[in-house]
Structure 1
Amino acid sequence: MSSAEAADQGVGAKDPLSEPDSRFNTLPGWTWVGCYGGYYLSADQLHDAGFEHGFFTRRWQGRGPDELAGYLSCGVSVHRPQQVHGSVVLEASSACAAPWPDGDGLVSDRGGQSLWVCGADCTPVLLADPKSGHVAACHAGWRGVASRILPAAIARLEQRGAIRDQLIVALGPAVSGERYQVEESVALQVGEALGTDPSSLKELQRQAVIRPDAEKGRCRLDIRQAAVQQLKAEGIDGTRISACPLCTMAEPSLFHSWRRDQVKAVQWSGIVGQAEI
């Protein structure tokens, strides 16, 4: 392992929970919400529209959606998929108990539902329609973006009366482009799903989706920026998209990171719909 790779992956780092939270502060467009169980991150646009939601951190380890839902809203049902890095978006009512059905996205289909996804470097994406009150939650890594899970979620919301340029979207903490090395072939698969010329790495670089890497045949991929570009290409108003700047790899006191630690551990993100029962 090179020194650069070691630095990227935090090799030799101390116990992360023994250190203070280095980025536990006010971020533009984002708010840390305190409750008796701890703190979670909230996107101001979703909050201002009345949608209860939260991006939880590793400090909630051991508490899953059944418990976390109570910190967002009382008396809601809990829905989650068995994530498989694909593009399937399920109706929430089909994912209400173990064994959880395979999928990487959920859309609400009645009132009183909380929708949950988890991750440890991939982007958690929460979508909300202020008109109908319906919501969606997606787990969007590079495979999810490449297989167009976000357009699938938007289409599901449109079936429930949403107008896509009125949707509100929040992208939570994920690995940053600075620290996410991938093969150029991976970047090209993502680029093809954005409507970009799949042979044009230069165009992806112009869109800030990728940046150069010192290793031949590789580049750095900003998966959140790729998701933002995909959302815009689908007609989502850019002013209604909030992308959290926190990097899961760079913040060991706050987030699990598979690429940093090679440990199967996740943080959860959830949203509660407003649709009437």
Structure 2
Amino acid sequence: MDREQGWVWQSTEVGDYLTCDLLSKFSHGFFTRQFAEQSLVELTAHLQAPAQPFRVKQVHGNLIHTTAAIQEKGITSLNYEAQLPGDALVSSLQNQAVWVCSADCVPVLIGDIKTGKVAAIHAGWRGTALGITPLTVEKLRAGGSQIQDLRIALGPAIAGSNYQVALDVAVTVGQTLTLPRPNSDSTPEAVLEHLQNLEHSPLSPDPTPGRVRLDVRRVNALQLEHLGIAPEQIAIAPCCTFQDHQRFFSYRRERIKQVQWSGIVAN
């Protein structure tokens, strides 16, 4: 067992997966490329919890589904094409495992320590710009969760120091952090200046003209803090999918559509 900054690597006969101390009340895991050939049923079994796995057909948007909605539609297959399009799942009952897959995008796992409900989110830059993570928190709140009871782990993703984006991408994502919310008169320059002046800014310079480096996990964390979630309720994994080629697939590095899974089980 290898521990680092509130995160722990768990060992299995297949490989290692990452857990977060903040989610210690929940069976959960951020899995590595070593588990790529395993089904969600097999992955759920590694969490040592009898649970039914659920997933969505990820589309880089902000659609959120509940496991109840999936069941109501009679979707029982874990085949990709059979799933509802969306990028976040919220549990409805105990012993339900919600899963998302990612390569460089941010996998977000949320647990409510009072209700036992959980959520799994796929937050790429597009979904982040559309507010997928705060919208999922609002979905949990609508179901009875309280802000102070949420524990949130942002798993392995591409680090900001390695994620070069065009300025318009940074502006689109950054508009979600501008307070008050930007209106149609806000200029790209004003949005970028606001981002650069934030404490622990998600932006860093890039030597290429018209480009910057963007920390999408940091953006998600700041979005959550804007909802009133305390920083100590949020953890960011000390892993970069782009740098750690032994453990993780990275689309930015390899340009191949390969993913690793992240999941959490409702109590």
Normalised to the residue count of structure 2, the TM-score between the two structures is 0.89
State the alpha-carbon separation in 1 of the partners of residues 130 and 53 from structure 2: 26
**1:119 Cα offset (Å):** 0.4
What is the root-mean-square deviation of aligned Cα atoms in Å?
A: 1.5
State the alpha-carbon separation in 2 of the partners of residues 220 and 117 from structure 1: 25
State the alpha-carbon separation in 2 of the partners of residues 28 and 237 from structure 1: 18
Further displaced range: 190-199 or 164-173: 190-199
Q: 1:13-92 residue pairs with structure 2 within 5 A?
A: 25-47=2-24, 50-92=25-67
Q: 1:141-152 residue pairs with structure 2 within 5 A?
A: 141-152=124-135
Q: Give SS of 2:10's match.
A: strand
State which of 216, 222, 225 in structure 1 corresponds to 2:209.
216
**Does structure 2 retain, via aligned residues, the 8 Å contact 1:134–1:160?**
no
Q: Give SS of 1:200's match.
A: helix
Q: 1:63-212 residue pairs with structure 2 within 5 A?
A: 63-95=38-70, 96-97=76-77, 98=79, 99-196=82-179, 199-207=190-198, 208-212=201-205
Q: Which residue of structure 2 lines up, in the alignment, with residue 241 of structure 1?
A: 234
Gaps of 5+ in 2: 71-75, 183-187
**Does structure 2 retain, via aligned residues, the 8 Å contact 1:90–1:105?**
yes
**1:25 Cα offset (Å):** 4.7
Gaps of 5+ in 1: 1-23
Q: Give SS of 2:3's match.
A: coil
State the alpha-carbon separation in 2 of the partners of residues 223 and 25 from structure 1: 26
Q: Which residue of structure 2 lines up, in the alignment, with residue 18 of structure 1?
A: none
**1:229 Cα offset (Å):** 0.6
Question: Where has structure 1 moved over 4 Å in runs of 4 or more?
Answer: none
**Does structure 1 retain, via aligned residues, the 8 Å contact 2:62–2:131?**
yes
| Percentage of identical aligned residues | 41
**1:156 Cα offset (Å):** 1.2
Deviation track 1:91-146 (CA, whole Å, cap 9, x = no partner) reads: 02334534011000000011110000000000000011111100100000111110
**Does structure 1 retain, via aligned residues, the 8 Å contact 2:164–2:213?**
yes
- Alignment length (residue pairs): 249
> Judging changes above 3 Å, is the alpha-carbon distance between structure 1 residues 73 and 159 closer, same or farther for their aligned structure 2 residues?
farther
State the alpha-carbon separation in 2 of the partners of residues 132 and 104 from structure 1: 22
